[in-house]
Structures are given as structure tokens and as C-alpha cells.
């Protein structure tokens, strides 16, 4: 394998060019006890850390790349004792281990609301619920792999999947190939430590404008790296959505509501004129963004139906045996789990949810559970497709899973309202439907990134799919246990000052709003209108809608990375532009990995220290100095990246 690197077709194949996976035609060890066990251990550790982080800050960190990096380290240590490994074994380990962060996201965004309603759910009930969502999400991705990963190769970059592939190849090959990735990892870790660890620099740069408008950009090496990988077009569309929210929608809400003398729902305490930009975004723009994301998802699904049908036809041909002697059965890198087995497992999960009392809450009758299971089947299939496409553009960390969950809760709660199930038990069952769908959508995004890595490296898809299932089953109980332990041990419990669980508070608000019939539908309808208008003007709806939903500072960092790529690759010879693109993607992949790895390590510190804050320097600086430091740090990240990309040129 000496000297092997990823070809240009791994990123953007030329018209008519077919990508050949790195290890195609080779027979390598892949699904081994060493790989699976290492992945399980890393997944459990990162799942626990991400659980605390999500309850504290309302977000989780994608662990695919950190798990890949630590797997490389672990395998090299094993190598010192004579245990050899292949690159596909390393990939299998990160596939198993990365599932935990997605399970954690789904649990954290929903389950704490049960405790806020004063309920006391059992560990087994919540674990089975989390497992059900994870299994459905992985299995639903099986028939979509050929379309989203294989056919859309070159269109959907799957930045974290590509970053994982770069990390693993670089670790195997060393030399110049390793240089770019590990330089990026080092720089990413350094700047992440400076901002989120030592807190020498604020996490974002922001300038306040009149009427609560603001310009902001995150001091985030991973997001800048993602932007370079995506390129200027998609990055511009996404930042345009963010600019619409920050520079148009928020000022419009402020101007319209500044004369109100009572709080405007969903806010129940503050007047609009007393709210800052972040509060206006959190209390109002999120609903608008959720409506836009749901609309973009529906449009995406409609456009994907023909190719999805083709994927299902391929699966059905496996069941009937028509493909038994064909290429699909003989090419290792194109073998999925048997489609009949997939359908059987999905049906079994839905049947368990329908027939086993207690898993879906206290509305304990088979007809009720059957309707809840039907809602799960419909919404999960829809948002698995949407999630997989979104993460293909922006990565798992920026996947608006909460927006998809809001849409699920809206639909389910409306059905429950029409059926008269509006008490606390009905609310809990609606939330549990949202939990399963949220985990399914989240794990589908993670599975997509892992399958992209496998596609590039030449892994066996069905073995990766089994690895994802193992990762779900082994991490679900740990994540749930951590949630329950924190609720019982931290002062104030879930929803309190120490663990505010902001995403769950939002989900609770949605369900209460629908079933108590006081939801701000006007905001959601505005979001739907934005999505339809974007489609009318041929703007990529989903990318634009994600920009509307996520804060501007997130999208601005992505845009700066795309802008840097455009600046460095224009007005230069084609060969030089290609070299800069590849070197930049290597470095950007490292930034994603380094930032993610440091974020997980910082989260582990918080978890191990029992909730104590990460020790910072504690220096109070004037606001203008903080903003200047943030701006200079963003400039330093961009300069460092540009310096490395252009290093060695005449």
C-alpha cells in the first residue's frame, strides 16, 4: 500500500469518469473482533461525554473523525505487540464507534421533556426506544446507499466522510499525504483549545447593528474546513439563508413587535423590545427555520422519488433472486444487507413498538400504539432521506435534526389532537414518536458519512451496516443511563440552570403548543413560504433552508472557508488550481478532525469532573477587545490554511 493516495476522482470525478475505490479488487481483513471491540469502547466513552455536552449546551459533536484518529493510535499501539491491521479494520472501528453521537443527539433533544412533565420513565423503556430509532435509521439507509453515496458521488461531498477517508489514508501512508491532514489536525486542536478550552478568545465575532440585526462569524476551524471542502457555491447559498434570518427577519420581528405591551408567544416572559438578537432567533426564527427545513425536505423527497424507487427495485431484485448471479452479488464493494432482511427487521421493530406495552408511553392500547408506529414509519422514512442529503452538504455537526424533530412533533401532535389524546400521556407518546424519528434521522446522517468513507476506501457496505447496528445497540443504554443519572444527581435536574437541555425545552413547547392549541403557526407558515419562494427562484432549497434555521455565525464560518478556496483557485493554471484544491481539502479535513477531537476531549473533562466548568484564564477584557481578538483569530485560521496550501510554491 506504500505511496497510495486518493485520486482526484474521489472528490470531483470528471464527466463520464468512474471512481474506483482505494482497495477495490483486494481482500483485506475488515470485520474483526479487534475492530468492533475498539469501536464499542470508544463509542461508549464519546457517547457519555456527548450526552453531558448536549444537556449543557443543546448540541453534540460528531465523533466520526475523533474515533478514526484514536482508532489509528490504538491500532498502532497494538501493532507494537505484533497485532497487524488493515485500513478497512480501522474504518470498521470508527463506523461502530461514531454511532453513539447520533444516538445521543436523538435522546438529548427529546427525552428530558418527559422528566420536565414530572414523569419517571424506566431505563429499559427509554433504551428500547433509543435502540428502535437507531435500528430504523440504519436499516432505512440501506436501499438509499446506491443513490445518495454512489450515484451522487461528486455532487454530495459528505465532508466528514471524506475527512475520515483522508485521515485513515494519511495514517496508513505517512509522508506528504499525512502532512496535510495532521497539520490540519494540529491547527484545529490548537485554535479549538484557545477558544473553547482556555477561553483566551471568544467563540464568535459579532457586531451589533440597528434593530437587533447583527453580523457574526464563528471562530471555528472545523466549520472553515467544511466550507473549503464544500466550495463557494453551496457555502454562498447557505450564508444567504443565515443573512436573511440575521439581517432581515430578526429586525422585522423587532420593528413589528417593539410596540407590543405583552410577550408574544412562544415567549411568555420578555417583551420583544427587551430581547436581544440571540433571544429573538431562539424564540421566533427557529420556528420559521423549522418550517423552511420541512418544506425543503418535502421538495427534496419529491425530487428523489424516481431514484429512490429504483433503489427499492434493486433491493426487490435481491429478494426475488434475479440478481443472484449478477454484478451486485460478486462485487464486494457494492454488497448491501439483503433487502428482504432489511424489510423484515424494520417490520419487526415496528411490530415490537406496537405490541409491547409501555415503550411508546402510557396511552396503552394496541390501536394507539399502532397509530404511533405508523407515524414513526412515515416520518422516519421521510427524514432519513432528508438527513442523509443534508449531511452530504454540511456534515453531521450542522445537521438540523431538531428542525426535523419539530416537524415530526407537529404532524404527530396534530393527529393526536384530532383523536382527542391531549393529556400528559398523549404528549408523552407524541414525544416518544419524535424520539424514534429524531434518532433515526440522526443515525442516518452518521451512517451516510461512514458509508461515504467506506465507498472511498473500498469497504464492504453490508459489513459497515452491521457495524452501525452494533454501535446503536451498545451505546443506547449508556446514553440513557447518563441522562437518568444526571437528572437525579445534578441540582435542578434536567431543565434546570445547570443542565438546561434547551432542545428538549423547545420540543416540549411544540407539543404543548399543538395539543393545548396555542402554537405559533404564523411563524411556521412564514418558513414554508420562504422554502417555496427559494424553490421558485431555483435556489437549492434545503441548503438555503438550513441557512435560515442555523445561526448566521455558523454559516459565515462555512462561507469564509468556501471563499478562501475560491480565492486560491481562481486566476491560476488548471494544474495549480487542482493542487491547491486537494491540499486545501486535506488541510480542511484535518481542521474538522482536530476541532472535533478537541471538542470531545473538553466534553470528557466536563463529564469526568462532575460538571465543573473547563478551567479558563478568567481574564475580563473590554467587549471591543474580545471582538478584535475573535476577528484576528479567524484571520489567523484562514492565513494558516492559505500558507499551508501555497507552501512550496515558487
3 inside domain: no
The backbone torsions φ and ψ at residue 537, rounded to the nearest 5 degrees and listed phi first, read -95, 15
Over residues 43-59, mean pLDDT: 74
DSSP class of 9: G
Q: Write out pLDDT tens, residues 323-364.
A: 444 444 568 888 899 888 999 999 999 999 998 888 887 666
364-to-280, 371, 421 alpha-carbon distances in Å: 39, 12, 12
Q: Write out pLDDT tens, residues 230-257.
A: 789 889 999 999 999 999 999 999 999 9
Contact between residue 359 and residue 132 where contact means Cβ atoms under 8 Å apart: yes
Please state, in angstroms and rounded to a whole number, the distance separating the CA atoms of residues 330 and 338.
14
Query: Is residue 369 packed enough to be buried (19+ CB in 10 Å), middle (13-18) or exposed (0-12)?
Result: buried
316 inside domain: yes
Contacts of 95 (CB under 8 A, 6+ apart): 39, 450, 453, 454, 464, 467, 468, 471
pLDDT surpasses 60 at 610: yes
Over residues 101-115, mean pLDDT: 87
Please state, in angstroms and rounded to a whole number, the distance separating the CA atoms of residues 50 and 596.
11
Cis peptide before 340 (omega within 30 of 0): no
DSSP class of 268: S
Contacts of 120 (CB under 8 A, 6+ apart): none
383 inside domain: yes
Among 431, 441, 433, 435, residue whose Cα is nearest residue 511 = 431
Q: Write out pLDDT tens, residues 20-37.
A: 888 888 888 999 999 999
Average pLDDT, the chain: 84
Over residues 413-427, mean pLDDT: 89
pLDDT surpasses 50 at 424: yes
Contacts of 573 (CB under 8 A, 6+ apart): none
Residue 185: per-residue pLDDT: 85
10 inside domain: no
pLDDT surpasses 90 at 451: yes
9 inside domain: no
Q: Write out pLDDT tens, residues 184-193.
A: 889 998 998 8
For 501, left (φ over 0), alpha (ψ -120 to 50), or beta?
left
Angle subtended at Cα 633 by Cα 632 and Cα 635, rounded to the nearest 5 degrees? 65
Among 117, 111, 90, residue whose Cα is nearest residue 31 = 90
- In order, the DSSP letters of 288-304 are HHHHHHHHHHHHHHHHH
Question: How many CB atoms lie under 10 A from the CB of residue 570?
Answer: 9
384 inside domain: yes
Q: Give the total number of structural domains in the chain.
A: 1
E strands in 181-255: 204-208, 214-218
Q: Write out pLDDT tens, residues 307-329.
A: 556 656 655 665 565 544 444 45
488 inside domain: yes
26 inside domain: yes
Residue 327: per-residue pLDDT: 45
Residue 2: per-residue pLDDT: 45
Over residues 449-478, mean pLDDT: 94
Please state, in angstroms and rounded to a whole number, the distance separating the CA atoms of residues 357 and 310.
37
Where does the pLDDT of residue 559 fall: very low under 50, low under 70, confident under 90, or very high at 90 and above? Answer: very high
Please state, in angstroms and rounded to a whole number, the distance separating the CA atoms of residues 561 and 306.
34
* Domain limits for position 210: 18-646
Q: Write out pLDDT tens, residues 572-592.
A: 998 898 889 878 887 887 887
Amino acid at each position: 500500500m506504500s505511496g497510495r493516495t486518493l485520486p482526484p476522482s474521489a472528490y470531483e470525478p470528471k464527466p463520464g469518469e468512474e471512481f474506483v475505490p482505494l482497495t477495490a479488487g483486494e481482500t483485506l481483513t475488515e470485520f474483526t473482533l479487534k475492530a468492533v471491540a475498539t469501536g464499542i469502547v470508544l463509542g461508549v466513552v464519546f457517547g457519555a461525554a456527548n450526552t453531558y455536552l448536549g444537556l449543557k449546551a443543546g448540541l453534540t459533536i460528531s465523533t466520526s473523525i475523533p474515533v478514526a484518529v484514536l482508532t489509528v493510535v490504538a491500532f498502532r499501539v497494538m501493532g507494537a505487540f505484533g497485532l497487524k491491521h488493515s485500513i478497512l479494520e480501522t474504518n470498521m472501528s470508527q463506523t461502530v464507534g461514531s454511532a453513539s453521537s447520533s444516538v445521543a443527539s436523538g435522546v438529548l433533544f427529546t427525552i428530558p421533556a418527559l422528566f420536565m412533565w414530572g414523569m419517571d420513565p424506566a431505563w429499559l423503556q427509554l433504551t428500547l426506544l433509543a435502540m428502535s430509532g437507531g435500528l430504523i435509521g440504519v436499516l432505512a439507509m440501506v436501499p438509499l446507499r446506491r443513490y445518495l453515496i454512489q450515484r451522487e458521488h461528486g455532487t454530495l461531498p459528505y465532508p466528514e466522510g471524506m475527512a475520515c477517508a483522508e485521515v485513515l489514508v494519511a495514517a496508513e501512508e505517512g509522508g506528504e499525504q499525512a502532512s496535510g491532514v495532521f497539520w490540519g489536525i494540529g491547527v484545529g486542536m490548537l485554535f479549538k483549545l484557545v477558544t473553547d478550552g482556555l477561553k483566551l478568545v471568544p467563540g464568535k465575532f459579532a457586531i451589533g447593528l440597528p434593530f437587533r440585526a447583527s453580523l457574526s462569524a464563528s471562530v471555528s476551524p472545523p466549520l472553515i474546513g467544511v466550507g473549503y471542502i464544500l466550495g463557494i457555491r453551496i457555502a454562498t447559498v447557505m450564508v444567504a439563508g443565515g443573512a436573511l434570518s440575521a439581517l432581515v427577519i430578526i429586525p422585522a420581528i423587532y420593528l413589528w413587535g417593539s410596540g407590543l405591551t405583552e410577550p408574544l408567544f412562544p415567549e411568555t416572559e420578555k417583551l420583544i423590545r427587551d430581547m436581544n438578537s440571540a433571544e429573538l432567533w431562539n424564540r421566533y426564527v427557529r420556528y420559521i427555520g423549522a418550517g423552511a427545513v420541512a418544506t425543503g425536505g418535502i421538495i427534496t423527497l419529491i425530487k428523489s422519488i424516481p431514484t429512490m424507487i429504483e433503489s427499492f427495485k434493486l433491493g426487490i431484485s435481491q429478494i426475488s433472486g434475479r440478481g443472484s448471479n449478477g454484478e451486485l452479488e460478486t462485487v464486494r464493494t457494492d454488497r448491501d444487507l439483503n433487502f428482504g432482511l432489511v424489510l423484515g427487521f424494520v417490520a419487526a421493530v415496528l411490530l415490537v413498538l406496537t405490541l409491547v406495552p409501555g415503550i411508546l408511553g402510557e396511552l396503552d392500547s394496541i390501536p394507539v400504539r399502532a397509530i404511533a408506529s405508523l407515524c414513526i414509519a412515515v416520518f422516519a422514512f421521510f427524514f432519513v432521506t432528508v438527513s442523509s442529503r443534508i449531511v452530504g452538504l454540511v456534515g453531521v455537526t450542522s445537521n438540523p435534526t431538531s428542525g426535523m424533530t419539530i416537524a415530526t412533533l407537529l404532524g404527530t401532535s396534530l393527529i393526536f389532537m384530532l383523536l382527542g389524546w391531549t393529556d400528559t400521556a398523549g404528549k408523552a407518546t407524541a414525544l416518544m414518536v419524535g424520539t424514534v424519528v429524531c434518532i433515526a434521522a440522526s443515525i442516518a446522517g452518521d451512517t451516510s458519512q461512514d458509508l461515504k468513507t467506506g465507498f472511498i476506501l473500498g469497504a464492504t457496505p453490508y459489513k459497515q451496516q452491521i457495524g452501525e447496528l452494533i454501535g446503536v445497540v451498545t451505546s443506547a443504554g449508556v446514553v440513557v443511563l447518563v441522562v437518568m443519572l444526571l437528572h437525579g444527581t445534578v441540582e435542578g435536574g434536567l431543565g434546570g440552570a445547570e443542565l438546561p437541555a434547551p432542545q428538549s425545552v423547545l420540543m416540549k413547547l411544540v407539543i404543548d403548543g399543538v395539543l393545548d392549541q396555542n402554537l405559533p403557526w404564523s411563524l411556521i407558515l412564514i418558513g414554508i413560504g420562504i422554502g417555496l419562494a427559494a424553490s421558485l427562484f431555483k435556489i437549492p432549497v434545503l441548503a438555503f433552508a438550513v441557512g435560515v434555521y442555523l445561526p448566521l455565525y455558523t454559516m459565515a464560518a462555512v462561507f469564509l472557508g468556501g471563499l478562501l478556496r475560491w480565492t486560491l483557485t481562481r486566476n491560476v493554471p488548471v494544474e495549480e488550481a487542482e493542487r491547491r484544491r486537494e491540499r486545501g481539502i486535506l488541510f480542511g479535513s484535518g481542521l474538522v478532525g482536530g476541532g472535533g477531537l478537541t471538542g470531545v476531549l473538553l466534553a470528557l473533562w466536563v463529564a469526568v469532573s462532575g460538571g465543573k466548568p473547563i478551567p479558563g484564564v478568567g481574564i475580563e477584557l473590554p467587549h471591543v477587545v474580545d471582538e478584535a481578538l475573535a476577528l484576528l483569530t479567524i484571520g489567523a485560521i484562514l492565513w494558516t490554511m492559505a500558507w499551508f496550501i501555497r507552501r512550496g510554491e515558487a
